[in-house]
A = this chain, B = another copy of it.
Amino acid sequence: MGTGLTRREREKRRQRGDMLAAALELFSEKGYHHVSMKAIAKRAEFALGTVYRFFSNKEDLYKAAMREKAGEYHRTLTDALSGEQDVLAALNGYISAKAKIFAPNAEVFYLYFAETGGISFNLRAGLHKEIGQLHDDLIERLASVMGKGVRARILRDLDPHDMAVALEGLTNAFLLSWLKNPERHPYDESISTISKLFLEGSLAG
């Protein structure tokens, strides 16, 4: 068997995954506190007790679900940044990868965004730190690409970290704006707008 797991173990993984998916759906629809464990169990088509067999409590379930998504998000974007490509291609790749992962996960992304913030809602503090680190890591990788661009004299000689933060902010703003009003800002158009604004700025030359 390819995976090295018994049938039973695979089964459990699948069940766990179903529960996580159901939970994530509900959480992003209604927010953590407006979702009951019963509702999650029902959505996942398990009995309440079964859910508790997999996750020791609601908090735990929430964390696992968020961690999963955060990991997926982080993986997608670091993948987009790695590889032997020239700097501008890497940046464009990053922007479009972000758009691509953002679109289907917009609602979860909100939760993620809320979590990346600085505040310590005492619960979840551990998770918060964890996700924050992923975010920092991403910024760092982005900054390293920027640094490469600076050394190659493709980018202006500014603090790479600042540039990374700037690009992050630009993409977020456009993606949120796209989310609010999809017709006005079709997202492939947004990609080139972001890239142009980031690279050339707004000042008349």
A contact set with B: CB distance below 8 Å = 28-34, 106-107, 110-111, 113-115, 117-119, 121-123, 132, 146, 149, 153-159, 162-163, 165-166, 168-174, 176-177, 179-180, 193-194, 196-205
Contact = CB atoms under 8 A, between A and B. Distances in A.
A169 B163 contact: no
Contacts of A166: 170, 173-174, 194, 197, 202
A67 B54 CA distance: 41
A111 to B, nearest CB: 6
Contacts of A200: 156, 201, 203
Tell me which of A119, A121, A123, A203 has the highest count of chain B C-beta atoms within 10 A of its own C-beta. Answer: A119
A204 B154 contact: yes
A173 to B, nearest CB: 2
A203 B173 contact: no
A202 B155 contact: yes
Given A30-B122, A111-B117, A156-B200, 11 more contacts: A31-B115, A107-B118, A110-B119, A118-B176, A118-B179, A154-B204, A156-B205, A165-B177, A169-B171, A200-B201, A201-B202
